[in-house]
Structure 1
């Protein structure tokens, strides 16, 4: 880490939506990277390391509240600070 502040440990389950119970604001003060099946992904909305899945937008499709419709993809998930 190049920052002088210590980053909190990355949780097992994290979501970027502030209304989600899995949203941790302190984590988003730092740059986070997600590696899915050994390739870095930049479109991950939510992940769970222990269950091995990520949620990503399904194209340009929106749900009834105007948010992107998400699909769950299973595989090997790694979260890290950039």
Structure 2
């Protein structure tokens, strides 16, 4: 494994950007200078994160999320 996190990663197993090995390793995400722990998906090059909003779910059982743009920093926790 490399020490560089991927440009884009998702926690949804149905997504093409899902990678269980990297998620098990632990990913930290800082968005606009604040560490976030409710990130569903991120993209460093495009500068956005998809954040879970509340406890609601959509009709497929996925958490409701909103896409927010801004500077994204990502690192491995371990």
TM-score, normalised on structure 2?
0.88
How many angstroms apart in 1 are the aligned matches of 2:29 and 2:44?
A: 10
Alignment length (residue pairs): 77
Residue segments in structure 1 that go unaligned for 5+ positions in a row? 1-5
Residue segments in structure 2 that go unaligned for 5+ positions in a row? none
How many angstroms apart in 2 are the aligned matches of 1:32 and 1:16?
A: 11
Give the drift of 1:75: 0.6
TM-score, normalised on structure 1?
0.84
Question: RMSD of aligned C-alpha atoms?
Answer: 1.4
Give the drift of 1:32: 1.1
Aligned equivalent of 1:63 = 58
Which of 60, 72, 75 is 2:70 aligned to? 75
Greater strand share, 1 or 2? 2
Structure 1 stretches of 4+ moved >6 Å: none
